[in-house]
Structure 1
Amino acid sequence: MIDLPLFYLFAIPAVLITGISKGGFGGGLGLIAVPMMSFAISPVQAAAIMLPILCLMDIFGVVRFRQYADWTHLSILLPAALLGIIIGTFSFHYLNEAQIKLMIGLVAMAFVLNHLRGKGSDEAKPASVWRGGFWGIIGGFTSFGVHAGGAPLNIYLLPLKLNKSAFVGTTVIFFTAVNYIKLVPYFWLGQFTSDTLLTALVLAPLAPLGVYLGSFLHHRIDDRWFYRICYGLLTLAGTKLLFDGLSGLL
């Protein structure tokens, strides 16, 4: 088990932030957990520690929001995400973390800038096999590597203008499926060790606390503010990924 005090200084708030995000804000801020933990340990080890915790959080999220999920969109997104996970599994030794972060950071920021310039339509977009399939693949791929599937999923879902419960319910089901599927290749690639699993067990009690806090806040924010927060989280996530990606390549 990891016993570095510096690690827990970052890991505890990282797990709580992830739980809050997954419990009421669509999970967009959850990708910050691995970069935060990486101040003390390697990103690969951080991702392995977070995956069992994410799976535990997903159980609480499914219980709370499963009835709101939009299966029209999930039927498009989930098969595509499975393909993205397969690609991530077999490219694990070829693409480094910095390249993945830079790619998704650029896309996320381009989407936010387009929204801020007012080019996005006020009308809700319909379901799209092509758009959903593309972003589903990217979401599965980036989720596999650094648990950063929230940004590409939001890029597809936000223009649909779902009500906030449907938005959160859809993301909860999406990431529950994705995270439990990821357990198989993580075991196969040897990313789970006794140290990572024991450390995840120690941090696990924070999971339901974070999800509860997110659920509490979810009912106290209206749709307009909810979407402002979502775009804000997407901006924060994209900026962080760009910085980390460029730093890793330079």
Structure 2
Amino acid sequence: MEIIHSFNLSLWQWVWVIIAAFLVGFSKTGMSGFLMPVIPIVASVFGGKESTGIILPLLIVGDAFALYYYRRHADWSNIKKLLPWTYVGLIIGVIAGSNVNDKQFKMFIAISVILCLIILIYMEKKGENFEVPKGAWFYAAMGALSGFTSMIGNAAGSIFSIYLLAMGFKKNGFMGTTAWFFFIVNLSKVPLQVLFWHNISFKTLGLTIGMLPAIAAGALLGAIVIKKVNEKQFRILIIVMTAVAAVRLLL
């Protein structure tokens, strides 16, 4: 009860927070694209930069559920290729976050998501004829963009999805690699946000504890749903959710 009163939110705002927590769990074990609506939902309740401190602990809990289901399916070679560049993106994101306002945050993320959507649609149309770039620049670009968009808006899911889909990952490999990559990245972001943005506190951690049932329910349902979806449906749903996220961020 103290947590509820300390945030001074309306009933409907709490409903949206619970929905967001549910979607975090669902996205981590089911459709990763369902994480994108969480960003504008939480931002509308708590504000731009403040919302990133609210979302991050929720994501880490969701990552833990994802690791339970998919921990054996990670492709560590691809994770290791991206991580150094991802940390570069995180540092740039920290600097930008201290000098860019909330509106500019959302605009940059929206543009990134739209570009991702265009690439995803192009890949689908090319099908087996699509050739994945082999140069080091591809890993550098995807890693840096993932780190930057993750830091300023927890919105790297679409970019990382493009990378994995471009590499031809199937469902289990997709989910396992995503789970480990974002678990590492999100843990790395905690000290950065505590020290530089000061938007994670015992109060926000208390909110995360209060949302555990919603995250767990979403994670359980996501693990069930993902088993019912075939590979083609999986790719189409990723594209649809990316499109929805792009439109929502521009509104």
Instruction: Please report the TM-score for the alignment, with normalisation by the length of structure 2.
Output: 0.87
CA distance in 1 between counterparts of 2:162 and 2:178 reads 12
Shift in Å at residue 33 of structure 1?
1.6
Shift in Å at residue 43 of structure 1?
2.4
Task: Report the 3-state secondary structure (helix = DSSP H, G, I; strand = E; otherwise coil) of the residue aligned with 2:72.
Answer: helix
Of 98, 115, 119, 1:93 maps to 98
Of 225, 228, 233, 1:220 maps to 228
CA contact (8 A) 1:151 1:237 kept: no
| 1:79 aligned residue | 84
Shift in Å at residue 165 of structure 1?
0.8
| 2:67 aligned residue | 62
Shift in Å at residue 144 of structure 1?
1.1
CA distance in 2 between counterparts of 1:217 and 1:194 reads 34
Mapping of residues 126-141 of structure 1, within 5 Å: 126=132, 128-141=135-148
Task: Report the 3-state secondary structure (helix = DSSP H, G, I; strand = E; otherwise coil) of the residue aligned with 1:151.
Answer: helix
CA distance in 2 between counterparts of 1:48 and 1:34 reads 11
Shift in Å at residue 202 of structure 1?
1.3
> Are 2:200 and 1:192 aligned?
yes
Q: Return closer, same or farther for 1:128/1:230 CA change in 2, 3 Å cut-off.
A: farther
Letter in 1 for 2:53: A
Greater shift, 136-145 or 97-106, is seen at 97-106
| 2:27 aligned residue | 21
CA distance in 2 between counterparts of 1:104 and 1:92 reads 13
Shift in Å at residue 79 of structure 1?
1.6
How well do the aligned residues superpose, as a CA RMSD in angstroms? 2.0
| 1:12 aligned residue | 18
| 1:36 aligned residue | 41
Over residues 52-108 of structure 1, what are the superposed CA-to-partner deviations in whole Å (9 max), with x where a residue is unaligned? 111111111112112111122111222211111111122221123332332332233
CA distance in 2 between counterparts of 1:218 and 1:128 reads 32
> Are 2:237 and 1:229 aligned?
yes
Shift in Å at residue 174 of structure 1?
1.0
Q: Return closer, same or farther for 1:238/1:45 CA change in 2, 3 Å cut-off.
A: same
Matched residue pairs, number?
Answer: 242
Q: Return closer, same or farther for 1:34/1:110 CA change in 2, 3 Å cut-off.
A: closer
CA distance in 1 between counterparts of 2:153 and 2:211 reads 18
Of 166, 172, 183, 2:173 maps to 166
Shift in Å at residue 124 of structure 1?
5.9
Shift in Å at residue 194 of structure 1?
3.8
Shift in Å at residue 131 of structure 1?
1.5
> Are 2:164 and 1:157 aligned?
yes
CA contact (8 A) 1:100 1:142 kept: no
> Are 2:167 and 1:177 aligned?
no
* Structure 2 unmatched ranges of 5 or more: 1-5
CA distance in 1 between counterparts of 2:108 and 2:51 reads 20
Give me the identity figure in percent. 26
CA distance in 1 between counterparts of 2:224 and 2:108 reads 34
Letter in 2 for 1:169: G
Shift in Å at residue 148 of structure 1?
0.6
CA contact (8 A) 1:16 1:209 kept: yes
CA contact (8 A) 2:24 2:58 kept: no
CA distance in 2 between counterparts of 1:179 and 1:165 reads 21
CA contact (8 A) 2:39 2:153 kept: yes
Shift in Å at residue 44 of structure 1?
2.2
CA contact (8 A) 2:20 2:42 kept: yes
Q: Return closer, same or farther for 1:19/1:160 CA change in 2, 3 Å cut-off.
A: same
Task: Report the 3-state secondary structure (helix = DSSP H, G, I; strand = E; otherwise coil) of the residue aligned with 1:94.
Answer: coil
Greater shift, 67-76 or 33-42, is seen at 33-42
| 2:3 aligned residue | none
Shift in Å at residue 134 of structure 1?
0.8
